[in-house]
Each structure stands twice: as C-alpha cells, then as structure tokens.
C-alpha cells in the first residue's frame, strides 16, 4: 500500500475507533469548542470596553484569530502522535514496533491518533472567519482565497514542526514535557492579536525564530488589503507562509538527530 | 477538663491526610517548572495586549475602574493562582474509584467527605504555593530588576489590603476544594473525568476572572458576576488586594466567599452520601 492511502487508512481507523464512544467524542469536541471560545470572549470584552486598539477593529482581529485557530486545530489533530511520543511510545516501548514497520515513521505517528475533538477548535476558527468576513467586508476573490489557503498550509506545517520538536525533545527526557505548550497554545494566543501590538523583541521572535507572524499576520494583512503599520512591503504576506514549510523541514532535521540517539527502553 | 485535646484527636486524621498529600505533591518539581514557564509566557502576552488596549485611547482609562498597573498585577496574580482553579477532580480520587480502593476509604472510621476534602485541599495547596512563589519572584522581583517596572507585579494597596487578601486567598482555597469535591463526586458517579473537566474548565476560567479581570467585562453584568460562586476564587481576593473593597464592602465580599463555601460543602456532602450509597465496588 502506498504512503498516502496508508495514511488515510490509519486516520480512518483512528476516527472510527473514537466514533465507538460517540458521547465522549461529542463532549470532548464541545469542550474544545467552548475552551477555545473563551478566548473569543476575552477579545470581544476588551473591544467592547476599550473600542479599537491602535487602529485595529474587532473584525480584523477576528481574521487573525480564525486563521491561527484553524491552523492549530489541523496541526494538533495530525501531530498528536508526536505530542504523546514520550509517554505513550518511548516509555512503553511501543516505538520499537513503529520502527520495525517498513513505512515512514512520521506517517505512522501522524495517522496514529487523529482526534475528532480538534474539530471543536476548527469550527470555532471557521466561525470567526465568517464573523471577520461579515464585519470587515473581506472580498473572497480567487487571489485572496489562494493567499488564505497558502497561509493555512504554511501554518499547519509550522505548528506540526513545533509538535515534531516537542516529540524530539522526549528522546532525551522520555517524558512529554508541558514546556512545548509555550509555543503551541502560547503561539496561538500570541498570533491571535496583531503583531504590531507587541514589544519589538517579541515581534522579532515571532517573525524570525518561530515564524508565526509569517503564517498569520502578514497573509492576513494581504487579505485585508491593509498596509503594515510597521512598514513591511506589500508582497510579504504572499510569500511569507513559505517559512512554515522551512520550519517543518528544519524540525524534521532535528528529529533525525534525536532518532539516531534513540535507544529502546527495553521493556 | 479542656476540650482542646478532644478537638485535636478528632481533627488529627484530616490534618494527616492534608499534610501527606501536600508533601507528596511537592515532589513534582519538573511539572511545576514547565507549568511556570508556560505561565510566564502567557502572562507576558496578556500584559502586552492590555498595554495596547489601555494605551490606545486616552478616554479608555476613564471607562474602567481598573488601572493598567492593576490589570497587569491581576494578570500575574491570576497566572500564579492558575492551579487553584477547580477544573479537575483530584486524580487520586478518580483512581481510587477506578481501582476499587475507594472501598477502603468507606471502611475507615472517619468522615469520608472530610477526609477527601483534606486530601484535595493538600493537593491544591501544594501545587499553588510553589507556583505563586515562583511567579512573585519572576514578576515582582526579576521584572523590575530587568528594568521592566511597568510590567511588574505591584504590592497590595496597603497592609490591611494585604491581610484581607491573605484571608480571602485561604477562603478561595477552601472554596476551590469544595468545588473539586463536587467534581470528585461527579467523577465517582460517571467514571469519566475527561468529559466533565472539558466542560467545567472554560466556565471556571471565565467566571473566576482568570481569563480577564471581571471588572473588564461589560458593566451591566457586574453585580451578577460578583455574586456568583466562582468570583470568590480569584476576583474577590484580587479586589481586596487592590484595596477596591474596604470596610463593610470587604466584609461583604468575604461573606460571599463564606456563603458559597458553606453552600457547596452542604451540597457536596449530600451528593457524596447519595453516590456512595449506590456505589458498587467490584470484588477482586
């Protein structure tokens, strides 16, 4: 079986496994929807009390918010295997079984546990995109749709890269460390407001180290047809999502280093 | 004859349960450090967002009873007290239910509710105290030293406010424990903690003020927000800290906390009694 059909087979198996417990899956999805929705309450309450922030309106912020939540929802569903690598694979010795199979390792991990509940966050993101469209009158032409899809793909790659790095770390720690949440959940939190609000060192970090701004902020500006208050050229948003793929490639480089170091726990 | 020794004998098993759980939980240092790093980052983002919203318009400051410095201090306080929020049942209770060890608890010659209460309080306190201390070291000491005075955690309004805050924080611990007990009972009855905490978490984060200071939510909701039980977890202690509530108002706020503790403990006892009567422990 080829790689891609195999991946879909794995995802299908994982999803139908979760569907055996419909009440649980539904409740977790609802929990995700509500859990991510509270951030929307925070954004709304702040705009309700203070009005526009440095020339940004709520509809524009909703676009950042919606985009970044869609990205993370998809990456989180795909990258769950890397997320729990330490606790569920390395410590138990299950990882050896994956290594013995003549199929790409990353593929097996990605298809391992495709969480239905992440659809809660995805729905939330899509709802915010609809709200943003309604509020700011975004015109979805083929060009803007293409920018949005490219940004989405770059964002999924970037978040997946972060999860791969988190998994790599567990080759050393044999634990799944919460510290990566700084970049995953913390990244979502940071990227849902316009980059221009932040302090300079933080903006640099979000652009050049963990290029969240490149997959959310700049493409969103291009979609809105808004000039960057910080003076980045107009075409930035059209090419910048590429950095997400670069990040993922680099992450897999580090992953191979970690893999070379792997010695089974032997249980 | 004095009654003190009798009282001590009665309380001893519960104090022991509290202390042993407290010491046990202090062992998880890596988890605490990882959580701490996440919370610093989180707090930093919130502080920058607040600064942007407050700084945006000159009128904005007048539209709220809370200054930017207070909103920032509130943010650090909320990050430090994050694990005080009752969104999880005590995992040990959940495990006891699943393995059947709950049967031993039923056999002990002590009050089962009080025993679990003491244990859960120890579980919460041991996670909260190191994190609050670390957060204070970071936000109240390290940030000003790094020259970021505007971002720092400020001292309480005055000594009285500080003492009122401490008292209120202890009540918040009891209130949180009373809520964790309700979650414990719900888990015992449903045998499923993930679904329950997935739905409980967002409610707790919003209504306790952990997401945003309740004072920043719309003005029309303020009275209702202050009276609901979750305000006593975070928002009431913070208001006392800032000296926004003094005299009778402060007593009233503490009274709200005490009322909800009493109400939730009563409810929890009744619910636990009912659940325990219908609990079936499998042999093994």
**CB contact set of A123 (below 8 Å; sequence gap of 6+):** A33
Nearest to B199 among A34, A175, A202 (CB): A34
Question: Which has more pLDDT, B166 or B188?
Answer: B166
Question: Which has more pLDDT, A13 or A88?
Answer: A13
- Answer whether B62 touches A (CB < 8 Å): no
> What's the whole-number mean pLDDT along residues B66-81?
90
Q: How many domains does chain B have?
A: 1
Chain B residues 12-41 with a CB less than 8 Å from chain A: 30-31, 34-35, 37-38, 41
Q: How far apart are CA B276 and CA B262, in angstroms?
A: 21
Question: Which has more pLDDT, B205 or A181?
Answer: B205
Question: If you measure CA to CA, which chain A residue comes closest to B196?
Answer: A27
Specify the residue for token string 């410095």. Answer: B69
Contact between A35 and B211 using a beta-carbon 8 Å cutoff = no
Contact between A30 and B35 using a beta-carbon 8 Å cutoff = no
Specify the residue for token string 């200071």. Answer: B213
- Answer whether B45 touches A (CB < 8 Å): yes
The token pair at A95 is: 């990882």
Residues of B whose CB is below 8 A from A24: 192, 194-195
Q: What DSSP string runs through chain B? A: --SHHHHHHHHHHHHHHHHHHHHHHTT-HHHHHHHHHHHHHHHHHHHHHHHHHHHH-TGGGGG-SS-HHHHHHHHHHHHHTGGGS--S--HHHHHHHHHTTHHHHHHSSS-HHHHHHHHHHHHHHHHHHHHHHHHHIIIIIIHHHTT-GGGSPPPPSSHHHHHHHHHHHHHHHHHHHHHHHHHHHHHHHHS-HHHHHHHHHHHHHHHHTSSS-GGGS-GGGHHHHHHSTTHHHHHHHHHHHTT-S-THHHHHHHHHHHHHHHHHHHHHHHHHHHHHHH--PPP-
E strand map for A111-258: none
> pLDDT tens across A196-233, in order?
888 888 898 888 888 999 999 999 999 988 888 888 88
B195 part of a folded domain? yes
**With 90 as the cut, is the pLDDT of residue A147 above it?**
yes
Structural domain containing residue B125: 10-278
Residues of B whose CB is below 8 A from A41: 206, 211-212
Residues of B whose CB is below 8 A from A213: none
pLDDT at A248: 94
Residues of B whose CB is below 8 A from A34: 198-199, 202-203
Contact between B199 and A198 using a beta-carbon 8 Å cutoff = no
Nearest to B53 among A32, A53, A186 (CB): A53
- Answer whether A179 touches B (CB < 8 Å): yes
Question: Which has more pLDDT, B165 or B146?
Answer: B165
**With 60 as the cut, is the pLDDT of residue B191 above it?**
no
Question: Which has more pLDDT, B65 or A152?
Answer: A152
Among A120, A153, A135, A141, residue whose Cα is nearest residue A33: A120
Domain ranges of chain A: 3-261
A51: left (phi over 0), alpha (psi -120 to 50) or beta: left
Nearest to A50 among B31, B60, B203 (CB): B60
How many beta-carbon pairs below 8 A join chains A and B? Answer: 100
**With 80 as the cut, is the pLDDT of residue A49 above it?**
yes
B5 part of a folded domain? no
pLDDT at A29: 86
- Answer whether B249 touches A (CB < 8 Å): no
Specify the residue for token string 């000296």. Answer: B243
> What's the whole-number mean pLDDT along residues B109-125?
87
Are A69 and A127 a contacting pair, CB within 8 Å? no
> pLDDT tens across A88-138, in order?
888 788 888 888 888 888 888 888 888 888 888 999 999 999 999 998 888
pLDDT at B233: 93
Question: Which has more pLDDT, B105 or B273?
Answer: B273
Which of A46, A54, A174, A229 would you mutate first to test chain B, the one with the most B CBs within 10 A? A46
B180 part of a folded domain? yes
**With 70 as the cut, is the pLDDT of residue B63 above it?**
no
B246: left (phi over 0), alpha (psi -120 to 50) or beta: beta
- Answer whether A45 touches B (CB < 8 Å): yes
Q: How far apart are CA A250 and CA A241, in angstroms?
A: 15
Query: Measured between CA atoms, how close is A244 to chain B, in angstroms?
Result: 22
Contact between B212 and A46 using a beta-carbon 8 Å cutoff = yes
Residue B102's pLDDT band (cuts 50, 70, 90)? confident
pLDDT at B284: 47
B273 part of a folded domain? yes
The whole-chain average pLDDT of chain A stands at 87
> pLDDT tens across A148-193, in order?
999 999 999 999 999 999 888 888 876 666 677 888 888 888 888 8
The most confident of A4-13, A127-136, B109-118, by mean pLDDT: A127-136
Residue B56's pLDDT band (cuts 50, 70, 90)? low
The whole-chain average pLDDT of chain B stands at 84
**With 70 as the cut, is the pLDDT of residue B85 above it?**
yes
Query: Measured between CA atoms, how close is A142 to chain B, in angstroms?
Result: 33
**With 80 as the cut, is the pLDDT of residue B169 above it?**
yes
């Amino acid at each position: 079986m080829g790689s891609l059909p195999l991946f879909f087979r794995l995802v299908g198996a994982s999803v139908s496994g979760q569907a055996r417990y419909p009440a649980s899956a539904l409740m977790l999805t609802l929990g995700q929807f509500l859990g991510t929705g509270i951030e929307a309450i925070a954004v709304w309450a702040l705009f309700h009390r203070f009005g526009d922030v440095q020339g940004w309106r709520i509809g524009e912020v909703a676009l950042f918010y919606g985009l970044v939540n869609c990205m993370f929802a998809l990456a989180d569903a795909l990258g769950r295997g890397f997320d729990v690598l330490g606790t569920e694979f390395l410590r138990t010795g299950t990882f050896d079984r994956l290594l013995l199979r003549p199929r790409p390792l990353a593929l097996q991990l990605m298809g391992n546990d495709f969480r239905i509940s992440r659809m809660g966050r995805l729905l939330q993101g899509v709802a915010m995109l609809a709200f943003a469209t309604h509020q700011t009158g975004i015109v979805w032409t083929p060009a803007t749709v293409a920018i949005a899809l490219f940004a989405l793909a770059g964002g999924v790659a970037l978040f997946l890269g972060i999860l791969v790095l988190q998994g790599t770390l567990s080759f050393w720690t044999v634990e799944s460390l919460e510290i990566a949440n700084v970049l995953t959940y913390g990244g979502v939190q940071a990227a849902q407001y316009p980059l221009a609000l932040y302090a300079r060192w933080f903006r640099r970090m979000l652009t050049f180290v963990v290029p969240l701004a490149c997959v959310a902020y700049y493409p969103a500006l291009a979609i809105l047809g808004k000039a960057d208050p910080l003076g980045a050229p107009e075409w930035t948003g059209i090419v910048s999502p590429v950095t997400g793929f670069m990040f993922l490639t680099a992450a897999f480089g580090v992953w191979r280093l970690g893999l070379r170091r792997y010695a089974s726990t032997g249980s | 004859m004095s009654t003190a020794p009798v009282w001590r004998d009665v309380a001893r098993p519960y104090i022991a349960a509290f202390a042993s759980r407290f010491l046990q939980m202090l062992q998880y240092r890596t988890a605490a450090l990882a959580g701490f790093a996440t919370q610093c980052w989180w707090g930093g983002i919130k502080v920058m967002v607040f600064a942007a919203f407050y700084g945006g318009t000159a009128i904005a400051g007048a539209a709220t009873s809370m200054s930017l410095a207070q909103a920032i201090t509130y943010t650090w306080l909320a990050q430090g007290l994050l694990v005080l929020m009752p969104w999880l049942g005590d995992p040990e209770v959940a495990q006891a239910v699943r393995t059947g060890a709950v049967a031993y608890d039923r056999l002990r010659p002590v009050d089962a509710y009080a025993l679990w209460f003491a244990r859960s309080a120890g579980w919460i306190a041991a996670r909260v105290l190191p994190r609050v201390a670390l957060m204070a070291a970071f936000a109240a000491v390290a940030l000003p030293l790094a020259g970021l005075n505007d971002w720092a955690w400020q001292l309480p309004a005055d000594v009285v406010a500080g003492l009122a805050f401490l008292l209120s924080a202890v009540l918040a611990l009891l209130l949180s424990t009373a809520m964790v007990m309700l979650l414990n009972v719900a888990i015992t009855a449903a045998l499923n903690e993930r679904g329950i905490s997935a739905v409980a978490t967002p409610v707790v984060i919003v209504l306790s003020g952990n997401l945003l200071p309740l004072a920043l939510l719309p003005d029309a909701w303020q009275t209702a927000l202050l009276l609901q039980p979750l305000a006593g977890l975070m928002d009431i202690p913070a208001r006392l800290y800032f000296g926004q509530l003094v005299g009778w108002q402060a007593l009233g706020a503490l009274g709200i906390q005490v009322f909800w503790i009493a109400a939730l403990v009563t409810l929890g006892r009744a619910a636990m009694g009912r659940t325990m009567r219908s609990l079936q422990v499998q042999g093994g």
